Amino acid sequence: MTTRTLGSRSWVVLLFLAACGPESQTPDAAIQPIEDGGREDTSDSVDAPAAISWRACDPLVPSFCGLPFPSDVYTRTDPGTATGRRLAFEPGALPDRIRRVAPFEALDGFSPGSSPMTYLPGATATGLPSPLEIGRSLEADSPTVILDLETGARVAHFAEIDRAYDEDDERAILLRPAQLLAPGHRYVVAIRGVVDGEGRTIAASPTFVALRDALASSDPAVEERRDEYASLFATLADAGVARESLQIAWAFTVGSRDAITGSLLHMRDETLASLGDEGARYTLTEVEATEDDPNLALRVRGTLHVPMYLTRAQPGGTLRRGPDGLPVAVGEMDVPFWMVIPKSAATTPGQLIQWGHGLLGTGEEIWEYGDLHRFLDLLGYVLFAIDWTGMASEDLGLLAAIASRGEIGDFVEVTDRLQQGILNALVAARTAHGGLASDPAITLDGVSPIDASRPVVFVGQSQGGILGGTYMALTTDVERGVLIVPGQTYSFLLQRNRGGWDQFSPLFEANFGPIDIQRCLALMQLLWDRAEPTGYTPYIREDLLPGTPPHEVLMVVAINDHQVTTLAAHNMARSIGGVRNVGPVNRSIWGIEEASGTVGGSMMIEIDFGVPDVPLTNEVPPEGPDPHTMAAEPAWVLPTLHDFLQTGRVTHACEGPCDPT
Residues 563, 639 share a domain: yes
Residues 249, 137 share a domain: yes
3 state SS of 645? helix
What pLDDT is stored for residue 562 in this prediction?
96
Range of the domain at 437: 1-24+276-454
Q: What is d(CA 514, CA 164) in angstroms, rounded to the nearest whole number?
A: 8
What pLDDT is stored for residue 11 in this prediction?
35
Is residue 138 pLDDT above 80, yes or no? yes
Residues 378, 237 share a domain: no
Residues 200, 129 share a domain: yes
What pLDDT is stored for residue 661 in this prediction?
55
What pLDDT is stored for residue 22 in this prediction?
37
- pLDDT (average), residues 602-614: 94
Q: Is the peptide bond before 220 cis (omega within 30 degrees of 0)?
A: no
Q: Considering 454, 478, 509, which residue would you say is the last residue of a domain?
A: 454
Residues 180, 60 share a domain: yes
Q: Considering 227, 256, 285, which residue would you say is the last residue of a domain?
A: 256
pLDDT band at 564 (very low <50, low <70, confident <90, very high): very high
Stronger pLDDT, 319 or 635, i.e. the higher one: 319
In a domain, 170, yes or no: yes
Residues 18, 97 share a domain: no
pLDDT band at 291 (very low <50, low <70, confident <90, very high): confident
Let me know: does 474 contact 540? Beta carbons within 8 Å: no
Q: Which helix (H) or strand (E) holds 283?
A: strand 281-289
What are phi and psi for residue 303, nearest 5 degrees? -135, 125
In a domain, 98, yes or no: yes
Q: What is d(CA 61, CA 156) in angstroms, rounded to the nearest whole number?
A: 24
Residues 205, 81 share a domain: yes
3 state SS of 642? helix
What pLDDT is stored for residue 52 in this prediction?
72
pLDDT band at 51 (very low <50, low <70, confident <90, very high): low
Count of domains forming the chain: 3
What pLDDT is stored for residue 660 in this prediction?
58
Residues 311, 177 share a domain: no
Q: State pLDDT tens for residues 186-236.
A: 999 999 999 999 999 999 999 999 999 999 999 999 999 999 999 999 999
Is residue 584 pLDDT above 50, yes or no? yes
Q: Which helix (H) or strand (E) holds 281?
A: strand 281-289
Residues 337, 226 share a domain: no
In a domain, 501, yes or no: no
Is residue 440 pLDDT above 90, yes or no? yes
3 state SS of 261? helix
Q: State pLDDT tens for residues 161-186.
A: 999 999 999 999 999 999 999 999 99
Mean pLDDT, rounded, of the chain: 91
Let me know: does 410 contact 379? Beta carbons within 8 Å: no
Angle in degrees, CA 180, 578, 117, rounded to 5? 15
What pLDDT is stored for residue 369 in this prediction?
86
What pLDDT is stored for residue 43 in this prediction?
38
Residues 223, 322 share a domain: no
Residues 390, 291 share a domain: yes
Q: State pLDDT tens for residues 245-272.
A: 999 999 999 999 999 999 999 999 999 9
CATH number at residue 246: 2.60.40.1220
User: With pLDDT > 70 as the criterion, what percentage of the chain qualifies?
Assistant: 91
Q: State pLDDT tens for residues 478-535.
A: 999 999 999 999 999 999 999 888 888 999 999 999 999 999 999 999 999 999 999 9
3 state SS of 299? strand
Is residue 35 pLDDT above 60, yes or no? no
Residues 338, 249 share a domain: no
Let me know: does 626 contact 563? Beta carbons within 8 Å: yes
Alpha carbon dihedral 642, 648, 651, 656, in 10-degree steps, equals 80
Compute the radius of gyration of the chain from its Cα atoms: 25
User: With pLDDT > 90 as the criterion, what percentage of the chain qualifies?
Assistant: 85
In a domain, 496, yes or no: no
Angle in degrees, CA 49, 53, 59, rounded to 5? 120
Q: What is d(CA 149, CA 592) in angstroms, rounded to the nearest whole number?
A: 25
Is residue 13 pLDDT above 50, yes or no? no
In a domain, 121, yes or no: yes
What pLDDT is stored for residue 16 in this prediction?
33
Which residue, among 329, 522, 348, 319, has the nearest Cα to 414 in the 3D structure?
319
- 461 burial (CB, 10 Å; 0-12 / 13-18 / 19+) is buried
CB count in 10 Å sphere of residue 344: 19
Q: State pLDDT tens for residues 594-606.
A: 999 999 999 999 9
What pLDDT is stored for residue 370 in this prediction?
87
Which residue, among 645, 529, 659, has the nearest Cα to 261 in the 3D structure?
529
Stronger pLDDT, 43 or 113, i.e. the higher one: 113
Q: What is d(CA 483, CA 308) in angstroms, rounded to the nearest whole number?
A: 27
In a domain, 77, yes or no: yes
Q: What is d(CA 477, CA 471) in angstroms, rounded to the nearest whole number?
A: 10
The HSE-up count of residue 37 (CA atoms within 13 Å, CB side) is: 18
In a domain, 509, yes or no: no
- pLDDT (average), residues 48-53: 56
In a domain, 405, yes or no: yes
Q: What is d(CA 370, CA 220) in angstroms, rounded to the nearest whole number?
A: 67
